[in-house]
Amino acid sequence: MRNSIHVKAPRTAAKNEVVRLMTKLNHPMESGWRRTLDGKAVPKALAGRFVCLFNGREVFRADLDAGTASDPYLSFHARIAESGVFRFLWTGEDGSAIEKQARIEVV
């Protein structure tokens, strides 16, 4: 996937605080059903899965399908008990992957 990820996560949190995390993938999400003006099929290109890990533990997962709009945006919450790193991982149906990380400190 030659796409970019946007991530919004707080840099600090109190112990056991619930924080909001947001991510957006710049991706066309082509279903393979559309045709160009000259009748050629637009190749299928889907980001099929999103996983968010915190310190190696899964905190959120989403499986996306052909009905997902382009540039998918996800917002979710996680409880923070310790400082660590979030890994935001988008995987395409073709096996390609793109990842971004965000560090959060417990104060």
Reduced 3-state DSSP string for 30-79: ECCCCECCCCCECCCECEEEEEEEECCEEEEEEECCCCCCCCCEEEEEEE
What global pTM score does this model have? 0.85
Instruction: Tell me what pLDDT residue 1 has.
Output: 52
State the residue range of the domain holding 30.
4-106
Instruction: Tell me what pLDDT residue 2 has.
Output: 59
pLDDT score of 69 more than 90:
no
Domain total for the chain?
A: 1
Instruction: Tell me what pLDDT residue 60 has.
Output: 98
